[in-house]
Amino acid sequence: MSLNSYLIVGSRPYGEQVCDIRITNGLISEIGSGLEPGDHQVVKAHDLISLPSFVDLHTHLREPGREDAETIASGSRAATLGGFSAVFAMANTTPVADTAGVVEQVWRIGRETGLVDVFPIGAVSVGLHGEALAELGAMAASAAKVTVFSDDGNCVSDPLLMRRALEYVKTFDGVIAQHAQDPRLTQGAQMNEGELSGILGLTGWPAVAEEAIIARDVLLTSHVDSRLHVCHVSTSGSVAIIRWAKEMGIRVTAEVTPHHLLLTEDLVSSFDPVYKVNPPLRSRADTLALREALADGTLDIVATDHAPHPHESKDCEWDSAAFGMLGLETALGVVVAAMAETPGWSWRTLSERMSTVPAKIGRALNHGRPLAVGEPAHIVLVNPQKTREVVPSQLASLSGNTPYAGMTLPVSVTDVFFNGVHQVRGGELHE
Amino acid sequence: MKHLISVQDLSRTDTLHILDTARELDRVTNGGIKLLPTLRGRTVVNLFYEDSTRTRLSFERAAKRLSADVVTVSAKGSSLSKGESLKDTALTLNAMGADMIVVRHPSPGAAHRLAHAGWLDSRVLNAGDGKHEHPTQALADALTIRARLRPEAVDFDGLTIGIVGDVLHSRVARSNIFLLASLGANVVVIGPPTLLPVRIENWPCTVSYSLDAALPELDVIMMLRVQQERMNGTFFPSELEYSRSFGLNRSRAAALPTHAIVMHPGPMNRGVEITAEVADGTRSVITEQVANGLKVRMAIMYLLIGGDVSVA
């Protein structure tokens, strides 16, 4: 049998018609019914759904700087176990990914790990300080070929700097991924501002602090005819603004996280910081609006905002705790749990939102490709019947800050092929 | 009841039981027995991450009157000021065998975390957690109102209670609104919108922006402390404008019904939210609130860790 030549037998691509998929030399070489294995290893996939592997446009890998929370290697393991073939690593590391040197380091370590493609995101501003543009051109021209720029963790709140950044990235077809949060409206903010924040005495993070920045940014994007991506949209008002902007023909894309699709702010009543995240968990009405918008395409993609933190950063009082939650390994199950009942949702739609479109936004040309002959063999097999209980200690991430501990997710990733390599088998990683 | 974190954890029956117990303990101690042996051999730790005089003293005295061993740990001059985590402090106190931890902390939910994060086995009594709650103050206030205006009745049906000022930053206001409403009172919150939480209209209270309009309806008026640092920022134009609109002075006090009482949880800014004349006047029950604070704290300690030892 030849190495890395496989015949996936009996799966249903996109949950549709059963067929066999032949993988040869890292590519899909044949698709059809009743294919003969020949010298290809047979992977029995009856009752499984085959999809192009997922692409995460928003991941925190913490390396360099916080290797106690996550490394590029551990994050890559979490990603492939979650069914991803590519992750975009956010720039808020230590040092900040604001130079060609840092992004090349991240890119190189990702390549050496070799479990997923790691695409570094470059900082918009030097040190994420929101004052002066980082060397965007140098990062774009580096070996890492950066196309996505973000100060995520911080908002590019200065409208003039945001305008300049949007203009500047046009030279190399880049995109600015904005963390939409007005800093003045969210000073000391701890949770969604509403009835519950008032009762709990936690400083509120009002929806308008997100919506006002998105409204400003789509207008700026229109004015300079550039490309804007909105990170982790969390409110129904943001959805309405983005819907309007798209109707106006403005080139804006937007993401929603799995946790904002599934979880709501009432969890904060436990004062357990595992539910502390930025932007905060919102109301039930927001969650429903986000689901509807993801189904109809107003929200283009799911992105995890995977944010590992060491134990002590969450094992404390709420105010002192870090913002963020894990997302890579649970993303598919959470999205299915949240979206299953939403009209217009299908495996085909899920594949668009978690693979095709994020790859396009990030210009990851080798990812998010259809299951078709000649395409790269980045394939994930999903068991739609096999539930999975989330156990923090069993996650590949170095951190355990998952809000889904003890929850049973409706589906499981069973197998992953990356560049034709069958590296996840039966839910286990084989490096 | 294992801990007391929020008044919202108390049923109406629980609250009345605490108030009755406070009255009973008061009767017994006023009967000439200054110390009760109820908590002999028990250790109560007062863990104070914020400066406090009246609350800390009140808890210390309450525990001592019940014969508990009392240890007070204050932020200044302890490992708390060296940045030791709440968890590590909790583990230490647990190892030392604290039966009850009375905690004041600037972070909302800190008492809840101590009680429920699995760090310790002690009972936890919330003595104020950030802007969240201060349940013993609300119980003291309920006891005060009951003694003055409803000595025979079971609950507060028919009473209108105004809470005036900086509700946004006040744990006392939060605990009082929910506790007094649960006892049947009609609670009116009065203040400028900048100092009221958003969506407070969904709480069990009504909202007014005019103190003068509300005064004639109030059986109780509770003035909240306005922190100096809020005054000249973006919450309110100036101290003077605040006093003019929401300060309780002689002429406003005169607009109250004759039976109405004036309350303040302390510490007061005399001349800002309340004039000295009103604070020290005949309607003022401010010192009774302090005395009743001691009684309810004794009652709660007794109920939480007093076991089956009888009061008498």
Predicted local distance difference test score (pLDDT) of residue B36: 87
Give the dihedral of Cα atoms A60, A61, A63, A69; nearest 10 deg.
90
- Average pLDDT on A261-268 reads 98
In the predicted structure, residue B32 carries a pLDDT above the cut 70: no
Predicted local distance difference test score (pLDDT) of residue B312: 35
A293-317 residue pLDDT tens: 999 999 999 999 999 999 999 999 9
- Does residue B53 belong to any structural domain of this protein? yes
Instruction: Please give the share of chain A, as a percent, with pLDDT higher than 70.
Output: 100
Half-sphere exposure of B152 (CA within 13 A, CB side): 0
Predicted local distance difference test score (pLDDT) of residue B199: 97
Closest B-chain CA to A311: B87
Predicted local distance difference test score (pLDDT) of residue A217: 98
Q: What CATH number did the domain enclosing B218 receive?
A: 3.40.50.1370
In this complex, which of A190, A197, A317 lies closest to B86 when CB atoms are compared? Answer: A317
In the predicted structure, residue B134 carries a pLDDT above the cut 90: yes
A200/B203 Cβ within 8 A: no
Secondary-structure class of domain A6-50+374-429 per CATH = mainly beta
Are B277 and B140 members of one domain?
yes
Task: Mark A205-228 as b/e (b = at least 16 C-beta within 10 Å).
Answer: bbbbbbbbbbbbbbebbbeeebbb
A204/B200 Cβ within 8 A: no
Are B94 and B228 members of one domain?
no
In this complex, which of A190, A193, A200 lies closest to B198 when CB atoms are compared? Answer: A193
- Average pLDDT on A206-222 reads 98
Predicted local distance difference test score (pLDDT) of residue B310: 40
Are B84 and B149 members of one domain?
no
A319/B130 Cβ within 8 A: yes
- Average pLDDT on A351-363 reads 98
In the predicted structure, residue A1 carries a pLDDT above the cut 60: no
Q: How many CB pairs under 8 A join A and B?
A: 74
In the predicted structure, residue A40 carries a pLDDT above the cut 60: yes
Strand partners, B262: B221, B284
Q: Would you state the structure tokens that stand for residue A142, as one six-digit string? A: 């580096």
Task: Mark A84-94 as b/e (b = at least 16 C-beta within 10 Å).
Answer: bbbbbbbbbbe
Predicted local distance difference test score (pLDDT) of residue B30: 72
Are B16 and B152 members of one domain?
no
Least confident piece of the model among A233-237, B56-60, B83-87, B305-309? B305-309
Are B110 and B148 members of one domain?
no
Total number of domains in chain B: 2
- Does residue B1 belong to any structural domain of this protein? no
- Average pLDDT on A130-140 reads 98
Please say whether the beta carbons of A215 and A233 come within 8 A: no
A369-384 residue pLDDT tens: 999 999 999 999 999 9
In chain A, what are the domain boundaries?
6-50+374-429, 53-361
- Residue numbers in A near B126 (CB within 8 A): none
- Does residue B212 belong to any structural domain of this protein? yes
Predicted local distance difference test score (pLDDT) of residue A427: 96
| Chain A nearest CA to B261, separation (Å) | 26
Pinpoint the alpha helices (H) of chain B. Answer: 12-30, 54-65, 86-95, 110-116, 135-149, 171-182, 211-214, 228-231, 239-246, 250-254, 276-279, 286-305
In the predicted structure, residue B34 carries a pLDDT above the cut 80: no
Predicted local distance difference test score (pLDDT) of residue B33: 63
Predicted local distance difference test score (pLDDT) of residue B28: 85
pLDDT confidence bin for A2, thresholds 50/70/90: low
In the predicted structure, residue B285 carries a pLDDT above the cut 90: yes
Q: Which residue has the higher pLDDT, B34 or A180?
A: A180
- Would you call B198 an interface residue with chain A, using a CB distance cutoff of 8 Å? yes
- Average pLDDT on B224-237 reads 80
**Structural domain that includes position B194:** 135-286
- Average pLDDT on A392-398 reads 97
Predicted local distance difference test score (pLDDT) of residue B311: 40
- Residue numbers in B near A315 (CB within 8 A): 87, 117
Query: For domain A53-361, is the CATH number 3.50.50.60?
Result: no
Please say whether the beta carbons of A365 and A372 come within 8 A: no
B87/A315 Cβ within 8 A: yes
- Does residue B125 belong to any structural domain of this protein? yes
Pinpoint the alpha helices (H) of B164-275. Answer: 171-182, 211-214, 228-231, 239-246, 250-254
A102-112 residue pLDDT tens: 999 999 999 99
- Average pLDDT on B149-172 reads 94
A316/B85 Cβ within 8 A: yes
Mean pLDDT taken over chain A: 97
CA dist., res. A382 & res. A386, Å (int):
9
pLDDT confidence bin for A395, thresholds 50/70/90: very high
Q: pTM value? A: 0.95
Predicted local distance difference test score (pLDDT) of residue B234: 82
- Does residue B2 belong to any structural domain of this protein? no
In the predicted structure, residue B21 carries a pLDDT above the cut 80: yes
ipTM of the complex: 0.94
Are B122 and B146 members of one domain?
no
Question: Residue B3, SS3?
Answer: coil
- Could you count the other beta carbons within 10 Å of the beta carbon of residue B81? 11
In the predicted structure, residue B78 carries a pLDDT above the cut 90: no
A200/B132 Cβ within 8 A: yes
In this complex, which of A201, A206, A270 lies closest to B108 when CB atoms are compared? Answer: A201
Residue that has been written with the tokens 């583990």 in this structure: B91
* Residue of A56, A300, A305, A415 marked catalytic: A305
Are B149 and B65 members of one domain?
no
Are B206 and B245 members of one domain?
yes
Q: In this structure, which long-range contacts are made by residues A29-34, counting pairs with CB atoms below 8 Å and at least 24 apart in sequence?
A: A29/A373, A30/A373, A31/A371, A31/A372, A31/A373
Predicted local distance difference test score (pLDDT) of residue B309: 41
- Residue numbers in B near A206 (CB within 8 A): 198
In the predicted structure, residue B308 carries a pLDDT above the cut 60: no
Strand partners, A415: A381
